Amino acid sequence: MEAIESTVRTIALNEGSEAEIWQRTIERVIRSVVSVRYSQPHSFDGNLAGVSEATGFVVDAESGFILTNRHVVGTGPFWGRLVFHNQEEADAYPVYRDPIHDFGILHYDPKSSPHIDAVPLELRPDIAEVGLPIKVIGNDAGEKLSILSGFISRIDRNAPLYSGIYRDFNTCYFQANAAATGGSSGSPVVNIDGYAVALQAGGRSDKASTDYFLPLDAPFRALQGLKKGLTVTRGDVQCSFVFKPFEECRRLGLTASSEAEVRAAYPKARNMLVAETVIAEGPADGKIKGGDIVLKVNGELIATFQQLETLLDAALEGQETAHFVLQRGNSELEHDIAVRDLHQATPDRFVSVVGAGFHNISYQMAIRYGVACKGVYLCESGNNPEFGGRCGYLIQTVNNKDTPDLDQFVEVMRQLPDRSRVTFGYKALNDRHTLHTAVITLNRHWPAGMKMVTRNDATGQWDFSVVADPLPAIPPQPLSAAVSPSTLHPAVRDISRAMVAVSCKTPIYLEGLNTRHQKGMGLIVDAARGIVLVSSVFVPHACCEIELTIAGSILVAGKMLFIHPNHGYTLVQYDPALVLADVPTPTFAHESVSQGTPVMFAGHSGTTDLTCTPTAITRIAHLILPPLNPPRYRPMNVDSIGLDTRLGGDCDSGVVMSMDGKVVALWLACKNGNITARYGLASHALTTVLDRVRNGDVSPRMRIPPAELATVTTTDARAMGLSEEWINRVGAADSSSRHQLLMVKRLLGKHSKLKERDVLLTLNGQLVTKAADIDAMYWDETVDLVVLRNSAEVDLVGVETTPYDVETTHAVSIAGLMLARPHLAVRQQIKDLPSEVYITTREYGSPCCMSKGTYATSFITHINNVPTNTLEEVLREVLKVPNNTCKTQTQGRDTWVKLTDELRFPHRRRFLSLGAIRGYHETKRPLVSDTRMASRCVRA
C-alpha cells in the first residue's frame, strides 16, 4: 500500500510543483470545512453554559455527517449552526459524542438548502507518520478560513491535559507545530493528497507553539457504524492507561523476556501501556493497580491504544469480558475483567429543581478525580448560594436520606414541601474526604415543577417532562427566641435587638444587576407592623426571595414594600405574629445633626457580629455618584453623613445614634462599579415615608424631582449672576458654613420648564440650600420654583414633579434575552428613550448569545420590521413565529430584530437575526413573569 501511494505521489509531483498540488488540494478541502457556531444552554458534566465557535468538516455529504471535537459537541444540551464555505447555513445536532475521546459527529439535513455543495473528506488514519507535511484548514481565532502549515513530529504522545474539566485519555495524540489558536478546534489535518489524517484538538502557546491532533481510528469506526445505522458501542474496563517508554517500564518491573517479545512483534514500538487510574468499585478494581504493565489482552500482545480499544470494543459485543495479562513487579498476573459500555457511564439526562441542575456523575468526572462512578453530581448551582454559587459537588444526602443515584434523589425531593428548610450533605470532588453541610430553603415555586430533561438521540433535542409538582408549603408557625443581655455600650444594647439579618435571592437578573444573592443587615423600624429598613444593595427590586433572621434564630419570609428612588433604602415587611421575641422599635431623632456632634456608631462588617465605637460626625455633604454602565440604581439628591472612624468604611450596614440611644442616621452602602460608597442617611429624611407606611400606606407612590442636582457654592453662583441679596440670605440661613445652593446637573427625561444649569433658589417659597429642602415635593404634583437662569431670576409656576412608577413589575424572556421596561436608572441617563422594550440581561448559552451584537443596555424597536414599542407588542410579534423552526423550505423564518443602543453608540441602528425564536426553555411560548411577588411567579 505504501509503495503504491508513493508511486501515485511521484506521478502527481511530476504533473506540477508541490505548491500547485497543495493549491488544488486546498481548493477541494475548503469545500468540506464548515464553521460551527454553537450554544450549550445548560451547564452539564463540568461544562459551563456558553456559546462559542469552532470548526468541523463534512465526512458524509449524502447523510449529512460533520466531524468535530467532543469539547465542541459536549455531552449536554447543544444547538449548532453550520456555515459552509459558500456562506450557506444549516442547523446541526449531535448524533454521536464519544464518552472520552475528543471527537463528536454532528448531523445536518443536506436538503435544507439547495446551495450546499459540500465535498466529503476521506478519513485515512493509516497514513499518518512522523515527518508528514500537513495543513490545518479551519477557522483559526474565529476567522472564517485559515490555513496553517506544519509537520507531524510525534505520533505517540499521551493525551494532553487541557485547562478545563474535560480531558482525553486511553489514546495517543499526534504533535505538530502549526500555531493554531481558538476557533480551529475540529479542523481537518490533511496531507498533500487531501486525505484527513487527524483532527485538530488543542495546543499550547505558553512556551512553544505546539498543536495536538487526535488520531482518526476511533472517529473512523464511529462513522462506519453510523452509516450502517448501528448503535456505536464503546468498551472499557474503567481504567485509564498511559504510554511509558521501555526505560520507565523496566523500573516498574518489565522483564527482559517480556520486553524482547514486544520488540520482536512490533519493531517500531518504543512504549508500553501502563495503568494510571483505576475507578473504585469498577470492573478493574482489585484486579488492576496503578503501575501495572499491560502485556496481552485476549492473547494478543499490546503495544498501542488502538489495539486495546479494538479488543475491548469487540469484547463488549461478544463475551463481555476481556482476559488481561499484566506485569506487576517481576510477576505476571492474569485476570478476566468485565467490559462495560462507556456510553452507559455518560449521563444523558438531568433533573432541574430548586433552580439547580443534577445528574449522575459521569465516567469523565470519576476518572479525573479518582472517585467511584456513582452518585448525584451538581452540574449547575443556579441561585443557591449555599453551594457557593459553584458546581462540582457530589450530593450525599438530602434531608438525612441517602441519594446514591439520580432516581433516588428525585424520589427524596418530590416528598419535600415548598419553602421547607432542608439539609444537603455534599462533598467536593477535589476534596472528597470532607463532608459539607448546606441548609437550603427549597424554592419549588420558581420554577414550580421538578423537570427531567432527557437527551433524545432520534431528534437531537432534549425532551422536558415534569416528574413532580411541588407540595404546598407548610404554614409557618410562631417561634420564640430568648435574647441574651448585650455586653455592648448602653446606647447600643436596645438597638442591637432591632437588627435583623437579611438574605435576598434574585431568581433572574434585572435592572443591570449581575448577582443572585445578597446578604446584609437591616433595622426594624416598626416592630408592631413588622417593617424592616435595609439598604437597596441587599434588596434591589421586587423580584426577590427575602428571608429575615430576627433575634438571632427566628427565620421568617419577607416581601418588598417600597424602594426609595433617591435615598438608597428598601422597606421590607414580615408577619410580626410569627415572632415571639422582645423586639423593640427604635426611637428616631427628628432634629437635624451638624458637624462635630458626638455619636455612637454600630455596624456589621460582613458578619452577623455587631461592632460599635464612639465617634463624631465629620461632614454632611451632597452625595454625588457617577452613572453606572450598565445602568444600575444609585442614590442621588441626598445629603450623606461622614464619620470620624475607619469602622464606617468597613461596614455595609449599621446605625448612627446619639449618646442617649436615639437613631440619628442609617448607615447604608451603594456599589459603584468595583467601589462601594458608604454613607449615613439622616433619620429626619426617613420620617416622611415612614409616617405614611405606619399610617397604612404600605406602598406609597411618591413623586421625585425631575432632575439630578449638584451643589454650587455661593462664590460660583455670584459669577453666574446671583445677587448679593441672595448670597447674604443663603449665608444667614445656612448654619453649616457650607454656603451652597443646588443646581440642575441633569434633567431626567424631557421637561418643559426646568433647564440644565438652573440654580434653585426657593421651592414653594422656602429657601433651598441642601438636599433635604427638596423632600417637600414628594407628594406634590406641581411645585413653584424660583431659579437663577442666565444671570436672571426666573419664576417657574406649576413645575411638574416626576411620578415614581417605573419599578420593574414584568419581565419577558425570549431566546435568552430578558426584556423589561426601562428602569429608573436608564431613564436617568437617557432623555429620549427609543423604545419601552429594554434588554436588561441575557442568559449565557442562550440562542441570543450566538447573534453577535445582542447585549444588555440595548432597546428593541422592531421585530420582523414591525414596530414594537411595548412588551405587549413584542409578545404579539414573537408568538407569530413558529417555535423551534428556522430557515426551511416549508415553514418558519429568521426573526429579524432591530436594535438601538443609546448608551454606547447613540443613534446607531443594528439589524440582526436570532434565527427562529427557539424553545430555549422547555416552553413553547415566551416566558412572562410577574415580578411583583416572587411567590406567584411561574418560570417555564
Q: Is omega for the bond preceding 630 within 30 degrees of 0, making it cis?
A: yes
Q: Is omega for the bond preceding 476 within 30 degrees of 0, making it cis?
A: no
SS3 876: helix
Cβ neighbors of 156 (< 8 A, separation 6 or more) are: 172, 243, 270, 271
Cβ neighbors of 13 (< 8 A, separation 6 or more) are: 21
889 secondary structure, DSSP code: S
Provide the pairing of β-strand 133-138 with 146-158. antiparallel
Q: Which of 32, 43, 184, 240 is catalytic?
A: 184
Cβ neighbors of 318 (< 8 A, separation 6 or more) are: none
Cβ atoms of 348 and 455 within 8 Å: the answer is: yes
CA distance 520 to 590: 26
- Longest Cα–Cα distance in the chain: 111
Question: Hey, which bits of 178-270 come out as E strands?
Answer: 188-190, 196-204, 210-215, 235-236, 239-245
Count Cβ neighbours within 10 Å for each residue of 512-551 and write b for 16 or more, e otherwise: bbeebebbbbbbbbbbebbbbbbbbbbbbbbbbbbbbbbb
On the 0-12 / 13-18 / 19+ scale of CB atoms within 10 A, 590 is exposed
Cβ atoms of 765 and 784 within 8 Å: the answer is: yes
218, 332, 316, 303: which is closest to 324 by C-alpha? 332
Cβ atoms of 900 and 867 within 8 Å: the answer is: no
Inter-axis angle of helices 18-29 and 2-14, nearest 10: 110
Annotated catalytic, 658?
A: no
Annotated catalytic, 341?
A: no
Q: Which of 43, 45, 71, 445 is catalytic?
A: 71
H/E run at residue 95:
strand 89-97
CA distance 355 to 509: 13
CA distance 920 to 817: 10
Annotated catalytic, 758?
A: no
Q: How many CB atoms lie within 10 A of CB 842?
A: 22
159 secondary structure, DSSP code: P
Q: Which of 45, 60, 91, 102 is catalytic?
A: 102
Cβ atoms of 546 and 529 within 8 Å: the answer is: no
H/E run at residue 223:
helix 217-227
Cβ atoms of 442 and 453 within 8 Å: the answer is: no
H/E run at residue 364:
helix 363-369
Catalytically active residues are 71, 102, 184
